[in-house]
Amino acid sequence: MIHPIVQRLESLGIVLPEPAAVAGNYVPVVVAGPLVSVSGQLPLREDGQLMQGCLGHTVSEQEGYEAARLCGLHVLGQVRSALHGHWSRLLRCVQLSVFLNATPDFIHHPAVANGASDLMVQVLGPEVGRHARAAIGCSSLPKGACVEVGATFWIET
């Protein structure tokens, strides 16, 4: 029997990316008891191009939404890897932390962060995918990325 998450991915035409290599002295995922903590993921496109720029200056709200969604895909790719593809162990997306490289007057953080949040609900379903969230504006992000998303999940041990 195909797991509902796999079915949703297929019906949405989503192929999760392979986990990206780390860019520093950290690990991409930590599994600690019933929690999975995913390090911040950047909006890396299939062609290897990073979505860069600043919201409110060179990046539109819609482009930011797409960047956050792309970060969310990378988060899910890391979770799949950490769970060795055993989606049945995933009980809940607990929290997303969405960082936006934004101008000081940019105020649409929630609309951009919805790119990752909407994806979690679409792929994981409303019971597993709804989560707490922080959407934070900052003056820069690694490699000039416009958005970065980290996450915490609850799993069956």
How far apart are the C-alpha atoms of 101 and 103, rounded to whole Å?
7
User: Looking at the domain assignment, is residue 21 inside a domain?
Assistant: no
Q: How many domains is the chain built from? A: 1
- Residue 44 domain-assigned (yes or no): yes
Q: Which domain does 90 fall in, by range? A: 30-155
Q: Count how many residues are written for the chain.
A: 157
pLDDT over 90 at 116, yes or no: yes
CA dihedral 76, 79, 81, 82 (to 10 degrees): 170
Q: Is residue 49 part of a domain?
A: yes
Question: What does the pLDDT look like over 68-110, one tens digit per residue?
Answer: 999 999 999 999 999 999 999 999 999 999 999 999 999 999 9
Within-domain flag for 2? no
Query: Taking the CA atoms of the chain, what radius of gyration do you get in angstroms?
Result: 15
Residues forming a β-bridge with 99: 136, 148
* Amino acid identity at 3: H
Does pTM top 0.95 for this prediction?
yes
Q: Is the pLDDT of residue 1 over 90?
A: no
pLDDT in tens, 4-21: 999 999 999 999 999 988
Query: What is the model's pLDDT at position 22?
Result: 87
Which pLDDT tens digit goes with each residue over 41-51? 999 999 999 99
Structural domain contains residue 3: no
Closest by CA to 77, choosing from 54, 46, 107, is 46
Domain-located, residue 143: yes
- Tens-digit pLDDT profile for residues 119-138: 999 999 999 999 999 999 99
